[in-house]
Amino acid sequence: MTLTNGRIDAPCPVWCTGDHDASKNRRLTHRSNPAAVAAVERRGRLEDGPSIPVTVDLIVGLEQSHSELWVWLGPEDDASRGMAISFESAQRLSRALAQTLESAQQS
Protein backbone atom coordinates (compact mmCIF):
# COMPACT_ATOMS: atom_id res chain seq x y z
CA MET A 1 0.00 0.00 0.00
CA THR A 2 2.62 2.50 -1.00
CA LEU A 3 2.66 5.15 -3.70
CA THR A 4 5.20 4.53 -6.44
CA ASN A 5 5.51 7.16 -9.16
CA GLY A 6 2.01 8.33 -8.30
CA ARG A 7 0.35 4.90 -8.50
CA ILE A 8 -0.97 2.68 -5.73
CA ASP A 9 0.90 -0.62 -5.36
CA ALA A 10 -2.03 -2.43 -3.73
CA PRO A 11 -5.78 -2.01 -4.15
CA CYS A 12 -7.78 -0.15 -1.55
CA PRO A 13 -9.72 -2.23 1.00
CA VAL A 14 -13.44 -2.41 0.16
CA TRP A 15 -14.27 -0.07 3.07
CA CYS A 16 -11.85 2.67 1.94
CA THR A 17 -13.46 5.97 0.94
CA GLY A 18 -10.69 6.73 -1.54
CA ASP A 19 -9.81 9.97 0.27
CA HIS A 20 -6.15 9.33 0.99
CA ASP A 21 -3.58 11.14 3.06
CA ALA A 22 0.00 10.44 2.01
CA SER A 23 2.54 11.01 4.75
CA LYS A 24 6.06 12.34 4.25
CA ASN A 25 7.43 8.84 3.67
CA ARG A 26 4.86 8.39 0.86
CA ARG A 27 2.91 5.74 2.74
CA LEU A 28 -0.78 5.59 1.93
CA THR A 29 -3.45 5.76 4.61
CA HIS A 30 -6.87 4.23 3.95
CA ARG A 31 -9.89 5.52 5.88
CA SER A 32 -13.49 4.38 6.09
CA ASN A 33 -16.54 6.58 6.34
CA PRO A 34 -17.16 7.00 10.06
CA ALA A 35 -20.31 5.53 11.58
CA ALA A 36 -22.14 7.87 13.94
CA VAL A 37 -23.70 6.49 17.12
CA ALA A 38 -26.04 8.66 19.18
CA ALA A 39 -25.18 8.31 22.86
CA VAL A 40 -25.78 9.86 26.26
CA GLU A 41 -22.59 10.65 28.15
CA ARG A 42 -22.38 11.31 31.87
CA ARG A 43 -20.35 14.44 32.55
CA GLY A 44 -19.30 15.86 35.87
CA ARG A 45 -17.81 14.34 38.97
CA LEU A 46 -19.97 12.31 41.27
CA GLU A 47 -18.18 13.56 44.40
CA ASP A 48 -18.67 17.23 43.38
CA GLY A 49 -22.41 16.87 42.94
CA PRO A 50 -24.74 15.33 40.42
CA SER A 51 -23.48 14.43 36.99
CA ILE A 52 -25.10 15.87 33.90
CA PRO A 53 -26.30 13.62 31.07
CA VAL A 54 -25.30 15.08 27.70
CA THR A 55 -26.31 13.85 24.25
CA VAL A 56 -23.27 13.23 22.03
CA ASP A 57 -22.50 11.65 18.69
CA LEU A 58 -19.74 9.07 18.86
CA ILE A 59 -17.95 8.12 15.68
CA VAL A 60 -16.28 4.85 14.82
CA GLY A 61 -14.15 4.22 11.78
CA LEU A 62 -11.33 2.20 10.30
CA GLU A 63 -7.88 3.39 9.34
CA GLN A 64 -5.11 1.38 7.73
CA SER A 65 -1.59 2.69 7.61
CA HIS A 66 1.67 0.78 7.13
CA SER A 67 -0.44 -2.40 6.72
CA GLU A 68 -1.74 -2.01 10.28
CA LEU A 69 -5.52 -1.84 10.81
CA TRP A 70 -6.78 0.54 13.49
CA VAL A 71 -10.24 1.38 14.82
CA TRP A 72 -10.84 5.01 15.68
CA LEU A 73 -13.55 5.96 18.16
CA GLY A 74 -14.50 9.06 20.04
CA PRO A 75 -16.88 11.99 20.27
CA GLU A 76 -17.55 13.68 16.96
CA ASP A 77 -17.15 17.17 18.42
CA ASP A 78 -13.88 16.60 20.30
CA ALA A 79 -11.17 14.68 18.42
CA SER A 80 -8.74 15.20 21.31
CA ARG A 81 -10.85 12.76 23.40
CA GLY A 82 -10.81 10.08 20.71
CA MET A 83 -8.51 7.09 20.47
CA ALA A 84 -7.20 4.69 17.87
CA ILE A 85 -6.93 1.09 19.00
CA SER A 86 -5.74 -1.98 17.16
CA PHE A 87 -8.31 -4.09 15.34
CA GLU A 88 -7.62 -6.94 17.78
CA SER A 89 -8.17 -4.62 20.75
CA ALA A 90 -11.47 -3.47 19.22
CA GLN A 91 -12.58 -7.10 18.92
CA ARG A 92 -11.76 -7.70 22.61
CA LEU A 93 -13.61 -4.49 23.55
CA SER A 94 -16.63 -5.59 21.51
CA ARG A 95 -16.75 -8.96 23.29
CA ALA A 96 -16.37 -7.30 26.71
CA LEU A 97 -19.17 -4.84 25.92
CA ALA A 98 -21.45 -7.68 24.79
CA GLN A 99 -20.75 -9.66 27.98
CA THR A 100 -21.26 -6.61 30.20
CA LEU A 101 -24.55 -5.70 28.54
CA GLU A 102 -25.73 -9.30 28.67
CA SER A 103 -25.02 -9.52 32.41
CA ALA A 104 -26.89 -6.24 32.98
CA GLN A 105 -29.96 -7.65 31.21
CA GLN A 106 -29.91 -10.72 33.46
CA SER A 107 -30.26 -8.61 36.62
Classified as helix, coil or strand, 72 is strand
1 versus 66: the higher-pLDDT residue is: 66
HEC string for 19-54 = CCEECCCCEEEEECCCEEEEEEEEECCCCCCCCEEE
**33-50 per-position pLDDT tens digit:** 999 999 999 887 667 678
Neighbours of 28 (CB within 10 A): 19
User: Cα 61 to chain center, whole Å?
Assistant: 4
pLDDT in tens, 51-93: 889 999 999 999 998 788 999 999 888 878 899 999 999 999 9
Tell me the whole-structure pTM to 2 decimals: 0.72
